[in-house]
Structure 1
Amino acid sequence: MAMVEIRDHSIWIKHIHGTGDLKEKLMGLAEGDLIELHVDGFRGMWRKMDDGKDGRKTNGIRALGLAQKRWHALQDKRGELVEIKEATDE
């Protein structure tokens, strides 16, 4: 199981702890790629952040739509860990 620390309005991949499979998958995404995740039990769409103007990878993802509202609502729990996993068709 992977956990992510609530620290920002984005999820920085370095703040994901636990099994490395999800972390590696997120690191392999190209800028703008979409991935559906369960974060703290909420299923939503996330977008890999654009690379920097100097070409360096930005190792973070941003929530979209309702997932963004849910993630931003968790900001009062900064420092806490919540479960994160890739959404699959159950």
Structure 2
Amino acid sequence: MKPPNGMNDLLSQGKAAVMSAKPKVIRSIETKERDLCVDIFLRADGTYGFEQYRRDVEDRSGWFPISHYRNLVFASDVLALAMARTVVRWLDEKMNNN
């Protein structure tokens, strides 16, 4: 079955909008040295994820991802944080000490 005229364009635009929408960071946890952090984020499609970042304070080029966790999908921020605590070594210790 062929979609109505213009429907493919609308579907493509919608898909692109969802894929290009920048996730909203809902929690960011840093080391006390402020050189590593984990962001928990909410995607436009309602799923959650996380990523670990690093920065060199003297460099001033900002944060850059050092793990490949951002494509993992979770149903809640609680589940994303639980997984992050499992795979990011310093995070669980930091959260237990706060």
Question: Which structure has more strand as a fraction of its residues?
Answer: 1
TM-score (normalised: structure 1): 0.31
